[in-house]
């Protein structure tokens, strides 16, 4: 059959839609049409590249799969059995029960998001959340935006546009998702001035680089990698003092931004937000959905003058969070005010979980399941926090009778609630540190059905 006749054999949209309707009458007509058009467009491209035309029935089958995929709830809930707590691909920090309830409450009807009930007039969406942030961190002012990249961008846009910002060479980094410090500076209108060397930077390096064009000193947390050996950098207090001696701004980007000392759980010490503030930073930026354990957001805290100028920038409105983010963050921060964050916020529940507890949970999950072993494993925090730090954990390891690693992993991913696993010693393992307690029974049922 010639290429021209192949093109003539491509079914029409109407023919494919009719086939789809006979297969599943519940598919909305509009979705059936758009799915058919997409599949036919792909088929035309295949024929143009030498492929064969397909019948209306076969195109409809593909269109139906496409339509059903669109109709699925998205993003879907999955079980994180990878052992990576802040797994960026799996949505980072799961919210606490209190935060989930707060989001449902605030989003199920109208709210006083920008309404002052005492005055009966328009209010500020940030008044309440900023007050909570200030209370938790102990700063004069605060501002919440939609992520930490936005927080860094706004700080530079407000305080260094058209001027130079000093950054240590070892901190001019790229973080996950293509977030590059040099590019953020360029986008904000600020100019990067590298100081020191890749592994060692001194206060004198910053001091000698200061000119009349300098606006700020930016310290950047290296996030997802660490340097060891012959390294060195000035303390936050030294940089703050130098900046203020020259009437410059000191901006401290903490990345994850912890409010709890991670060293009490046997991990390296992640910089604390409160310590950065106490050291004299004018602006401290950090994420809400990493070690804080809340929704995706970026927080800026610091002096009233510095934050006020940032809040007035036009981009601040474009990067502001919605009511659900604000509500979830507010509920998350209340746990820190009460002092029960380690017990109520999932990220810290996972970090603080003891091996004995994880072993008990692994035994519950594997009870009645054939060909599994309970084995020691290693977990990580992930999400750019505490790079290189490992935690001993416990995993349920599946035996060879389940099939190849690739096949077992695929079948678990295709479960009613997808289960995302890890591969260790050429076996599929489910790390219990990152499995939420409410998912234990589901895992047992899925494993019994494999």
Q: For residue 114, give both structure tokens.
A: 């920008």
CA nearest to 385, candidates 262, 301, 219: 262
Domain 79-88+347-449, second-level architecture: Alpha-Beta Complex (3.90)
Q: Return the SS3 of 360.
A: helix
Which letter, b or e, does each residue of 276-314 get, where b requires 16 or more Cβ atoms within 10 Å of its Cβ?
Answer: bbebbbbbbbbbbbbbbbbbbbbbbbbbeebbebbbebe
pLDDT score recorded for residue 385? 78
Q: Classify the phi-psi angles of 152: left when phi > 0, otherwise alpha if psi is within -120 to 50, otherwise beta.
A: alpha
pTM of the model: 0.90
* Cβ 308 vs Cβ 326: under 8 Å: no
Same fold, 79-88+347-449 and 97-344: no
pLDDT score recorded for residue 1? 59
pLDDT score recorded for residue 294? 97
pLDDT score recorded for residue 356? 97
Query: Mean pLDDT of successive 10-residue segments in the chain (450 residues)?
Result: 79 94 94 95 91 92 94 91 95 96 94 94 92 94 95 96 93 73 88 88 94 96 66 89 97 93 91 94 96 96 96 94 96 96 97 97 94 95 82 96 94 94 93 96 93
Can you state the angle between helices 148-160 and 181-188, rounded to 10 degrees? 50
**Cα end-to-end distance, the chain, whole Å:** 45
Domain 97-344, second-level architecture: 3-Layer(aba) Sandwich (3.40)
Give the residue ranges of DSSP H helices in 24-113: 29-48, 56-71, 97-107
Which letter, b or e, does each residue of 122-131 get, where b requires 16 or more Cβ atoms within 10 Å of its Cβ?
Answer: ebebbeebbe
According to DSSP, the residues that pair with 1 across neighbouring strands are: none
Alpha-carbon distance of 42 to 19, in angstroms, equals 18
pLDDT score recorded for residue 377? 96
- Give residue 412's Cα distance to chain centre: 23
CA nearest to 291, candidates 380, 356, 225: 380
> Which helix (H) or strand (E) is 343 found in, with range?
helix 341-344
- Write down the domain spans for the chain: 3-71, 79-88+347-449, 97-344
Cα three-residue angle 208-193-154, rounded to 5 degrees: 125
pLDDT score recorded for residue 225? 59
Q: For residue 320, give both structure tokens.
A: 């502001």
């Amino acid at each position: 059959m010639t290429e021209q006749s192949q093109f003539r054999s491509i079914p029409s949209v109407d023919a494919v839609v009719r086939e789809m309707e006979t297969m599943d009458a519940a598919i909305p007509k509009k979705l059936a049409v758009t799915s058919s058009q997409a599949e036919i467009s792909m088929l035309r491209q295949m024929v143009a590249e030498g492929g064969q035309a397909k019948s209306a029935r076969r195109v409809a089958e593909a269109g139906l799969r496409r339509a059903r995929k669109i109709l699925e709830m998205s993003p879907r809930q999955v079980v994180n059995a990878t052992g990576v707590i802040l797994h960026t691909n799996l949505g980072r920090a799961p919210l606490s029960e209190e935060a989930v309830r707060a989001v449902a409450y605030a989003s199920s009807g109208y709210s006083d998001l920008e309404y002052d009930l005492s005055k009966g007039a328009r209010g500020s969406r940030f008044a309440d959340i900023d007050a909570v942030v200030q209370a938790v961190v102990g700063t004069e002012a605060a501002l919440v935006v939609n992520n930490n990249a936005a927080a860094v961008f706004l700080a530079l846009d407000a305080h260094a546009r058209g001027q130079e910002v000093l950054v240590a060479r070892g901190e001019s980094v790229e973080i996950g998702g293509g977030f590059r410090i040099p590019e953020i500076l360029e986008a904000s209108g600020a100019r990067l001035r590298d100081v020191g060397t890749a592994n060692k930077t001194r206060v004198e390096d910053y001091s000698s680089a200061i000119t009349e064009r300098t606006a700020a000193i930016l310290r950047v947390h290296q996030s997802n990698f660490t340097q060891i050996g012959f390294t060195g950098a000035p303390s936050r207090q030294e940089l703050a003092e130098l900046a203020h001696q020259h009437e410059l701004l000191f901006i401290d980007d903490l990345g994850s931004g912890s409010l709890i000392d991670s060293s009490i759980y046997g991990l390296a010490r992640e910089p604390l937000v409160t310590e950065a503030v106490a050291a004299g930073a004018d602006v401290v930026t950090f994420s809400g959905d990493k070690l804080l354990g809340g929704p995706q957001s970026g927080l800026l805290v610091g002096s009233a003058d510095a934050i006020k100028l940032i809040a007035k920038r036009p981009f601040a409105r474009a990067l502001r969070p919605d009511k659900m983010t604000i509500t979830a963050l507010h509920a998350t921060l209340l746990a820190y005010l009460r002092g029960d964050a380690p017990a109520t916020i999932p990220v810290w529940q996972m970090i603080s979980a003891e091996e004995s507890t994880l072993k008990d949970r692994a035994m519950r999950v594997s009870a009645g399941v054939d060909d599994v072993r309970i084995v020691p494993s290693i977990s990580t925090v992930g999400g750019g926090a505490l790079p290189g730090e490992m935690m001993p954990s416990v995993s349920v390891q599946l035996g060879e009778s389940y099939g190849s690693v690739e096949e077992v992993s695929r079948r678990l991913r295709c479960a009613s609630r997808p289960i995302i696993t890890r591969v260790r010693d050429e076996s599929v393992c489910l790390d219990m540190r990152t499995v939420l307690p409410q998912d234990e029974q589901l895992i047992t049922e899925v494993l019994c059905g494999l």
